[in-house]
Amino acid sequence: MTWGSEKNLKTLHDHYERTGVMPPALENRPVLSLENAVYNEAFNILSAGRQNTDHVINPITFTDVMGYCDCIQEFNGAERLRYWAMISSCDAAFIEVVLNKRKVEMNKIAKTK
């Protein structure tokens, strides 16, 4: 989720093709199974539109996910609830990673004072 953008991925691939040296970030890139790609795509789209206030990361809402399902004209009933559960889980993991990174940065700042 926070691994990097398509532009970063292209840069890493270009480096590998140019030098023959595999960048560690590319070597350690997570593998996304095809069955989970639909969740990843939705998470990335919905995450880009999340409404953050001040320095607070607001979660992707149920309404946002249902609106996305309407937009792509996919999923009905129980499938939508399962879809919501997957996107919500991805979002919770993303928020946890971001908050942990912030905590580390705040600790570094506090130690320099």
Per residue in 48-102, pLDDT (tens digit) is: 888 777 778 889 999 999 999 999 998 888 999 999 999 999 999 989 988 888 8
Q: Do 46 and 89 fall within a single domain?
A: yes
Q: Structural domain tally of the chain?
A: 2
Q: Do 70 and 102 fall within a single domain?
A: yes
Q: Do 19 and 8 fall within a single domain?
A: yes
47: Cβ contacts below 8 Å, ≥ 6 apart: 1, 60, 91, 94
Q: Do 41 and 23 fall within a single domain?
A: no
Nearest-angstrom CA–CA distance, 16 and 26? 9
How would residue 32 be classed by pLDDT, with cut points 50, 70 and 90? confident
**Segments forming the whole domain that contains residue 97:** 34-112
Q: Which of 9-13, 32-36, 84-88 has the highest mean pLDDT?
A: 84-88
How would residue 1 be classed by pLDDT, with cut points 50, 70 and 90? very low
Q: Do 56 and 88 fall within a single domain?
A: yes
Under 8 Å between Cβ of 21 and 7: no
Nearest-angstrom CA–CA distance, 101 and 96? 9
Q: Do 52 and 99 fall within a single domain?
A: yes
